[in-house]
Amino acid sequence: MSKKRVFSGIQPTGQIHLGNYLGAVKNWVDSQDVYENIFCVVNSHAITTPQDPKELREKTFELAGMLLACGIDVGKSSLFVQSEIDAHPSLAWILDCNIAMGEMNRMTQFKDKSLKNPKNVNVGLFNYPALMAADILLYQADGVPVGEDQKQHLELARNVAIKFNRDFGTCFKIPEPMIPEVGARVMGLDDPQSKMSKSHKGANHAIFLLDSPDVILKKFKKATTDSLDTIVFDTERKGLYNLLGIYEVLTQKSRESIEAEFVGKGYGALKLAVAEVVIETLRPIREEYMRLSAQKGYIAQILKESADKVRPIAQATYQRAKELVGLI
């Protein structure tokens, strides 16, 4: 039987942090033998907020290098840059013409970003979900790994695909959301009420994949916990639950064995244990990234070959959609 096709995208803005890795990238890497994976650096999405052109190009290559360092194997998966395939914005326009304003107005990310950047509420930011839908639907994906914050966007992609197929004829596969049970939502170390973020200003908020061991240890030592003295998985104790969740994902131990491991121990022991497992997980990634970052031509060649591989899939889908709506 052929493998199910899975599409995933990530923006080249800021540095990849532990939340990105555990919530998305690690799952991508681990699933490469199970699915036909198509991974996309979604640089066109990045320009919905102001970007320095030179820096955006650099960040695009940096992100590709980091994904390769994390274990994306182009012998098993495809890794390309969104802007290199023109069918993405072309299909987004057709989808725009089939999405109701009411559906777009309900997108919570647009509302959140508009409040954070009231002086840069552009049409692209509003239209972001249509381009995201095009990214997914172009490749006839069976599934899309998403965090809870992107689930609404995937639902819009599903809705427009169903509507299009009904109104014009079969064109798109209806993708299913894939939300990992563990590690899907890593919270900030300094503020466990909010998701770990690239843009958060707190110095101890996020663990970045290129952080040194000393920096990682320092950040974990300052992680927010509480005043209680038992180490158990309790969703109400946000800081503790976040640390235990990170430890659970990286050690693959059961919750029962983890709780037993820390019986009679304090938060200092837990923070040290979590820091150590994170340091050892990230060490080979950091070393491989340093090796790859000196080979920009090699990364560019990988991106080109993958784009050439997946472009016919995207072009065939766009051509079908174009014909169905009556465009010549």
Determine the 3-state secondary structure of 87 from DSSP. Answer: helix
Backbone angles phi, psi at 59, to 5 degrees: -65, -30
Q: Are 221 and 230 in contact (CB under 8 A)?
A: no
One of 3, 76, 198, 218 is an active-site residue; which one? 198
26 in active site: no
Determine the 3-state secondary structure of 224 from DSSP. Answer: coil
304 in active site: no
Q: At what angle do helices 151-168 and 108-116 cross, to 10 degrees?
A: 130
One of 3, 4, 195, 322 is an active-site residue; which one? 195
53 CB-near residues (< 8 Å, 6+ apart) = none
The first and second tokens of residue 295, run together, are 């080979």
Burial code (b: 16+ CB inside 10 Å, e: under 16) for 58-91 equals: ebbbbbbbbbbbbbbebeebbbbbbbbbebbebb
Dist CA 96 CA 78 (whole Å): 27
One of 113, 219, 238, 271 is an active-site residue; which one? 113
Q: Report which of 229, 216, 150, 209 is spatially closest to residue 189, judged by C-alpha positions.
A: 216
First and final C-alpha spacing in the chain: 36
Q: Which residues are marked as active site?
A: 113, 195, 198
